[in-house]
Amino acid sequence: MSLVIRFGVAMASSLLGKFDHLITRKGYKNRSEAIRDLVRSNLVEEEWKIGNKETVGTITIVYSHHFRELTDKLTGLQHQNHAEIISCMHVHLDRHNCLEVLAVKGRADKIKKIADTLIATKGVKHGKLVMTTTGESL
Amino acid sequence: MSLVIRFGVAMASSLLGKFDHLITRKGYKNRSEAIRDLVRSNLVEEEWKIGNKETVGTITIVYSHHFRELTDKLTGLQHQNHAEIISCMHVHLDRHNCLEVLAVKGRADKIKKIADTLIATKGVKHGKLVMTTTGESL
Amino acid sequence: MSLVIRFGVAMASSLLGKFDHLITRKGYKNRSEAIRDLVRSNLVEEEWKIGNKETVGTITIVYSHHFRELTDKLTGLQHQNHAEIISCMHVHLDRHNCLEVLAVKGRADKIKKIADTLIATKGVKHGKLVMTTTGESL
Amino acid sequence: MSLVIRFGVAMASSLLGKFDHLITRKGYKNRSEAIRDLVRSNLVEEEWKIGNKETVGTITIVYSHHFRELTDKLTGLQHQNHAEIISCMHVHLDRHNCLEVLAVKGRADKIKKIADTLIATKGVKHGKLVMTTTGESL
């Protein structure tokens, strides 16, 4: 745990009023927490731009398990990248469609590559990579 | 399964050359699949803009479990929304940090609201909502 | 001009150190200004989600003026929306390609509609809408 | 002008129906043009990720001209980057607020740097970079 520092921010009351209104609606209990969240989001974005840092992501894909050999292919791809893919959650959306979410840890560029490959697989209907963080020193 | 239709697309060879190069790098096996993915992404984006359709998302959060009562609070929030939250995966990132991914199904605006509330919770360091799809008719 | 209020923000020194590093690199002279910018961006984003507020945008398009009747068509479309389109800047990128930027003021949903129509016009190679603000009370 | 190639795309009729519906609403006259736009957007995005290619952008900023010495500072910054900044459009939004749009041509990373510096300037309320293209071979 690192030391907590308190610093002052100057803001026009009209701007502050609008911000307070927004964060209340989003469920924030106080202004400091909302500002820390903006700061952290900003830092996480930058971390991913650099590319060679170890970081954490989640990959969400939706596909139909009826698609010929798709389940096998996706399992194969995931095992080829077992060093980065920590864990996987599978949800049965309906009789046909599957939602799969993978938790991934590794270099930003490597994680992007894995996401690209999974999303490009024939039969995967939609996919998205979330670029998040190891949480260290944030 | 719906009928497959084949239609023609006209494209300047220089543009097509660049596209073929990009999709090969991303791991696509053929052009049709890459174009279907662009089309589907475009449709999923629109679905989420409308807001009142039933759809599927995943919410990724990173937090420290040392943070006072945070685990209880997050569990409480999730149970309040048990109708939408289908399933949850928890990953122990290191001694302090947790990654949690929730699979959520419901109206787009309701899912956004749940994501806002979880991300706004004090102690949650980073959070992101993936707006995906039920997969129906895609 | 509205009253300036000064309030305190608490932040772990490790997080603050990373933030200071980032904003120095981006050219910020002080922390307050960087935080005000994060807050304003956040508010502008929300303003555009609501849709029915009067706001300001810019529409950037790139096209080839050789394309049959495109210049006439684009001029026509802009005049049909003269109530919203304030001004237009045209740049000759090379012998063939034009960059055009339109400053637009009106309801968020109306501005989006104008952008969609211009970008969808055959011969327009690329287009983007910037959703900014009237600047009032920000 | 490069050769036009015609190729076939296979798509489930349900997916195609949804896509046709969306593009009609956006104002597209035919499917080929909508698909070319998706392809071009995808390519432009990649071009900007690479960073060292010459490309084109527009920078939109909103500021109050009452802010002490801001107009001078912004003019100074723009002249320091006159090699990249081609042209500038200024709109008087109201008694206080200005909208300025800059057309910029140069290396992607250099353009990003200029945008960062302008947006970070004290008194600039909101700013956005549009990453577009020279239009060559698109």
Q: Encode pLDDT of C91-136 as tens digits.
A: 999 999 999 999 999 999 999 999 999 999 999 999 999 999 999 8
Taking residues B105-134, report their average pLDDT.
94
- Residue of B71 and B2 predicted with greater confidence: B71
Quick one: tokens of D1? Answer: 């002008």
**Residues in C lying within 8 Å of A, measured between beta carbons:** 1-16, 18-19, 22, 31-32, 35-36, 38-40, 42-43, 46, 137-138
Q: What is the mean pLDDT of residues B42-63?
A: 90
- C-alpha span between D10 and B36 (Å, rounded): 8
CB contact under 8 A, A96 and B133: no
Using a CB-CB cut-off of 8 Å, the residues of chain D touching B1 are 12
Give the chains touching D; criterion: ≥3 Cβ pairs < 8 Å: B, C
CB contacts < 8 A (C, D): 150
Tell me which of C2 and A49 has the higher pLDDT: A49
Q: Give the DSSP letter string of A27-70.
A: T-S-HHHHHHHHHHHHHHHHHHHH--SEEEEEEEEEEETTSTTH
Look at B10 and D32 and tell me if their CB atoms are within 8 Å.
yes
Q: Rounded distance, CA A124 to CA A111, Å?
A: 18
Contacts with D119 (C-beta within 8 Å, 6 or more apart), sequence order: C26, C37, D59, D61, D127, D128
Inspect the interface and report whether the beta carbons of D117 and C89 lie closer than 8 Å: no
pLDDT at C78 over 80: yes
Query: pLDDT category, A4, cuts 50, 70, 90?
Result: very high
- State the DSSP code for B94: S
DSSP conformation letters of D81-137: TTTTEEEEEEEE-SSSEEEEEEEEEEEHHHHHHHHHHHHHSTTEEEEEEEE----TT
Are the CB atoms for D137 and D1 separated by under 8 Å? no
Instruction: Quick: pLDDT tens for D24-77.
Output: 999 999 999 999 999 999 999 988 888 788 999 999 999 999 888 999 999 999
pLDDT of the residue at C75? 94
Q: Which residue of D has its CA nearest to B47?
A: D22
For residue D120, what are the contacts with CB-CB under 8 A and spacing of at least 6? C23, C26, C27, C28, C29, C33, C34, C37
Contact list, B22 vs chain D (CB under 8 Å): 42-43, 46
Token pair for C58:
């810019």
- B7 backbone dihedrals φ, ψ, rounded to 5°: -135, 160
Closest by Cα among C125, A45, D18 to B41: D18
Residues of A whose CB is below 8 A from B64: 135
A contacts of C49 (beta carbons < 8 Å) = none
Give the per-residue pLDDT at A52: 81
Is the pLDDT assigned to residue A49 strictly greater than 60? yes
Residue D104: pLDDT band by 50, 70, 90 thresholds? very high
Nearest-CA residue of chain A relative to C1? A12
Domains of chain B and CATH, by start: 13-50 (1.10.1220), 54-132 (3.30.70.1150)
Q: Do B126 and A44 touch (CB under 8 A)?
A: yes
Cβ pair A120, B34 in contact under 8 A: yes
Residue numbers in A near C50 (CB within 8 A): none
Cβ separation A9–C2 shorter than 8 A: no
- pLDDT tops 70 at residue D120: yes
CB contact under 8 A, A97 and B62: no
Chain A residue numbers touching C2 (CB-CB < 8 A): 12-15
**Residue B120 pLDDT grade (very low, low, confident, very high; cuts 50, 70, 90):** very high
pTM: 0.89
**Of residues D6, D38, D46, nearest to B42 (C-beta):** D38
State which residue of chain B sits closest to D39, comparing Cα positions. Answer: B19
For residue B18, give how far its alpha carbon lies from the nearest alpha carbon of chain D (Å).
8
Q: What does the pLDDT average to over B15-41? A: 94
Contact state of A7 with C40 under an 8 Å Cβ cutoff: no
Judged by CB atoms closer than 8 Å, whether chains meet at D11 and B46 is answered as no
Supply the mean pLDDT for chain B: 93
Which amino acid, B52? Answer: N
Phi and psi, residue C113, nearest 5°: -60, -45
Which pLDDT score, from 0 to 100, does residue C1 have? 55
C-beta atoms of A15 and C42 within 8 A: no
D134 Cα to chain B: minimum distance (Å): 13
Q: What sign for the dihedral angle of Cα D41, D43, D48, D52?
A: negative
Question: CB B39 to CB D19 under 8 A?
Answer: yes
Instruction: Check D93 against C119: CB less than 8 A apart.
Output: no
Q: Say which residue, D67 or B104, is predicted with more confidence.
A: B104
Closest residue to A4, CB basis, from C6, C11, C42: C11
Give the residue ranges of DSSP H helices in B1-138: 13-26, 31-50, 70-80, 108-120
Count residue pairs from A and C with Cβ separation < 8 A.
120
**With contacts defined as CB-CB under 8 Å, which chain C residues touch A19?**
39, 42-43
Q: Closest to A64 (Cβ–Cβ): which among B63, B89, B135?
A: B135
Q: Which chain C positions have a beta carbon within 8 Å of D124's beta carbon?
A: 37
What's the confidence (pLDDT) of residue C52?
Answer: 81
Per-residue pLDDT, averaged over D76-91, amounts to 94
Q: With an 8 Å Cβ cutoff, are D33 and C138 in contact?
A: no
Residue B1 pLDDT > 70? no
And the tokens for A68? 């010929």
User: What pLDDT does residue D1 have?
Assistant: 55
Kindly list the residues from chain D whose CB atom is less than 8 angstroms away from the CB atom of residue B20: none
Chain-wide mean pLDDT for chain C? 93
Name the minimum distance, in Å, from the CA of D34 to any CA of chain B: 9
Asked whether residue A121 carries a pLDDT value surpassing 60, the answer given is yes
pLDDT of residue A48: 87
**Is residue C131 within 8 Å of residue C115, measured between CB atoms?**
no
The pLDDT of residue B49 is 84
Radius of gyration of chain D (CA): 20
Q: What's the pLDDT band for D132 if we cut at 50, 70, 90? A: very high
Report how far residue D138's alpha carbon sits from residue D132's, in angstroms, rounded to the nearest whole number.
11
Mean pLDDT of chain D: 93
Q: Identify the closest residue of chain A to B62 by CA–CA distance.
A: A135
Please report the pLDDT score of residue A1 as a whole number. Answer: 55
Q: What is the ipTM of this complex?
A: 0.91
Mutation target vs A (from C38, C43, C55; most A CBs, 10 A cutoff): C38
* Rg of chain B over all Cα atoms, to the nearest angstrom: 20
Residues of A35-70 as b/e, b for ≥16 C-beta within 10 angstroms? bbbbbbbbbbeebbeeeeeebbbbbbbbbbeebeeb
